[in-house]
Structure 1
Amino acid sequence: MNHESYSDFYLAEILRQTRVIALVGASPNPERPSNRVMAFLLRKGYRVIPVNPGQAGKEIHGQKVYARLADIPEPIDMIDVFRAAHALPALVGEVLALEPLPKAIWGQLTVHDDVAAAQAEAAGIKVVMDRCPAIEHPRLIG
């Protein structure tokens, strides 16, 4: 898939089919983009599970923080990635070990790695990179 451009249908379908989001790189700091995006997604009715090893066991926006994706005790529909692009290959490795697999991996702005995306897509996971659901949701869904 070409990850330079996505159809509106592709992005909207992911956002509409998603119910549970694991937000990797969640921050308790209200000034951080991950914190603001998490708050937005919660307001839109998504269940958002924050993932941050340094905050594990604490809460962000009233949601328990987990250290790793594998620690989350329920199925995840989408992984929203607030990590540096160079961390994406290792993260995709973690994702591929989940049972069941999520339906999508969404890399935030500047998060792009074509090799990692190809690995996820080979396993049947949809991939979005260098986009923000808090920008795309109002544009596509309202």
Structure 2
Amino acid sequence: MSFMNPTQEQIGQILKQAGNIAIVGLSDKSDRISYIVAYTMQQRGYRIIPVNPAASGTEILGEICYASLHDIPDKIDIVNVFRRSEYCAQVAREAAEIGAEVLWLQQGIISEEAALIAKENDMIAIMDRCIKVEDAISLRNS
């Protein structure tokens, strides 16, 4: 499979239309990249929904943390993933099962299998891109 991320313009549109972002692998430790990214996105107006089995039932950034995507009662627009590549295919399957529109693998994370699962389930896949950086770029370009 020859994967290509959406264009910068398309990514800007995806972010403009998004509301709920489930962050798989969100840490409750404020010095972790996942926390910093989530905090920034929350400050920019997105609703962040933490997904981390180890912190399930607690609050991270004022939001209830869930053990899995299946446990989230609300519609998810973007599933943003902070997990190693070998776990991404399973996250992609879960994202498809809950009807997410976008599977977003953070910078440094690449999974051709996850991208293929996303494509087969009519989801948009984005890999090896930081959602915080892409949001800043789209704000600058608008």
Residue in 1 that maps onto 2:118: 120
Matches within 5 A, 1:1-142: 2-98=2-98, 101-142=99-140
Structure 1 unaligned residues grouped into runs of 5+: none
Deviation, structure 1 residue 5? 4.9
More divergent stretch after superposition (66-75 vs 118-127): 118-127
- Kept after mapping to 2: 8 A contact 1:24/1:79: yes
| 1:74 match: secondary structure | coil
More divergent stretch after superposition (50-59 vs 116-125): 116-125
Letter in 1 for 2:131: P
Query: What's the TM-score, normalizing by structure 1?
Result: 0.93
- Kept after mapping to 1: 8 A contact 2:5/2:127: no
Q: Report the identity percentage.
A: 33
| 2:80 match: secondary structure | strand
- Kept after mapping to 2: 8 A contact 1:3/1:129: no
| 2:11 match: secondary structure | helix
Letter in 2 for 1:102: A
Deviation, structure 1 residue 123? 1.1
Letter in 1 for 2:130: C
In 2, Cα distance between the equivalents of 1:135 and 1:2? Answer: 24
Following TM superposition, the consecutive aligned residue runs of length 4 or more in structure 1 with deviations greater than 2 angstroms are 1-6
| 1:22 match: secondary structure | strand
- Kept after mapping to 2: 8 A contact 1:3/1:128: no
Query: What's the TM-score, normalizing by structure 2?
Result: 0.93
More divergent stretch after superposition (6-15 vs 64-73): 6-15
What do you get for the CA RMSD once the two structures are aligned?
1.4
Structure 2 unaligned residues grouped into runs of 5+: none
